[in-house]
């Protein structure tokens, strides 16, 4: 069955990945963003979703400037919390399930064990608090929801850690990268495949598993080791690379505190929907292979 997706957001990594993967699988995607849909306006959100011809609403839009959110908490909450509620309520009024994207930043990062969906939350920064508030808004607005907490998203397009590393390595021989923050890099295209699979089961399946799920790439790595892996792949195709100097979070202070432990357990996603996202190393190889023509063509 071909599904009709309404994706909130247009230029973000997941929104672009949804456009690519869903269409390739025979589904249709209509992406909306400002000015057609403004998360700061309930009337705008309601009008856009009410007029949409869709089976599933995917909210892939968010205020994601983590450090800037410390200076703009009202705006972060307006988009990530209140705006998320607008989307969920509008979708509920037209009887469309919502797949809402959240983050590992809802946790405090203590310990080293992978976090479960049922574990106690405790954001360390404004961004994390705003995304957690968005989860509450979605749950309060509609029962038909799947909230997907993901982490460290990268892709062949848009701004992300991989793109930043390649850009910096083009002009620098050494890069100091935080080594005490550990998480799971997640390929946006793999996450899009998971969203599509979940949506298909929700719409077509006899049983609906709603609630909060963790959806990240398999395996865990530090930012420093992820950067080293990026440079190994880049060097193999003649692209830029740099020597990574591991540092601590204390040596690289930022306005917003980051969790040291961003490991999320994906077991519930596997049990409920039979989904296990590929290992981050496999995803990185696929992403770099796709970027190869662009990387090797640069002077």
8 Å CB contact between 264 and 184: yes
Q: Which residues, other chains included, contact 56 with Cβ-Cβ below 8 Å and sequence gap of 6+?
A: 3, 4, 5, 6, 96, 97, 98, 99, 199, 202, 203
- For 122, the token pair is 């405790």
Strands 56-59 vs 243-247: parallel, antiparallel or unpaired: unpaired
Residue 127 falls in the annotated catalytic set: yes
Residue 250 carries which DSSP code? G
Name every residue whose Cβ is closer than 8 Å to that of residue 61 and which is 6 or more positions away in sequence. Answer: 8, 9, 12, 15, 33, 39, 79, 83
Dihedral (CA of 177, 181, 182, 184) sign: negative
On the CB side of 10, CA atoms within 13 Å amount to 10
From 86, 105, 127, 220, active-site residue: 127
Which residues does the annotation mark as catalytic? 127
């Amino acid at each position: 069955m071909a599904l009709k997706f309404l994706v909130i957001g247009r230029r973000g990594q997941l929104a672009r990945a949804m456009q690519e993967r869903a269409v390739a699988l025979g589904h249709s995607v209509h992406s909306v963003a400002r000015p057609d849909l403004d998360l700061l306006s309930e009337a705008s959100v309601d009008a856009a979703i009410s007029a949409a011809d869709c089976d599933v609403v995917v909210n892939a839009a968010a205020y994601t400037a983590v450090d800037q959110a410390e200076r703009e908490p009202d705006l972060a909450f307006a988009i990530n919390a209140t705006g998320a509620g607008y989307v969920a309520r509008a979708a509920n009024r037209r009887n469309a399930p919502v797949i809402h994207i959240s983050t590992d930043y809802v946790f405090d990062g203590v310990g080293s064990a992978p976090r479960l969906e049922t574990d106690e939350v405790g954001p360390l920064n404004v961004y994390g608090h705003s995304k957690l508030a968005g989860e509450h808004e979605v749950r309060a607005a509609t029962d038909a929801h799947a909230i997907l907490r993901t982490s460290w998203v990268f892709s062949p397009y848009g701004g992300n850690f991989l793109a930043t590393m390649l850009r910096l390595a083009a002009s620098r021989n050494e890069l100091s990268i935080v080594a005490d923050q550990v998480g799971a890099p997640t390929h946006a295209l793999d996450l899009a495949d998971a969203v599509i699979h979940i949506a298909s089961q929700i719409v077509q399946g006899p049983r609906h598993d709603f609630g909060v799920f963790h959806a990240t790439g398999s395996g865990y790595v530090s930012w420093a080791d992820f950067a080293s892996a990026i440079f190994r792949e880049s060097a193999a195709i003649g692209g830029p690379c740099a020597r990574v100097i591991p540092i601590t979070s204390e040596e690289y202070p930022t306005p917003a505190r980051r969790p040291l432990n961003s490991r999320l357990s994906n077991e519930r996603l596997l049990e409920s929907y039979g989904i296990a996202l590929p290992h981050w190393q496999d995803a990185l190889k696929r992403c770099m292979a796709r970027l190869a023509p662009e990387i090797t063509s640069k002077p």
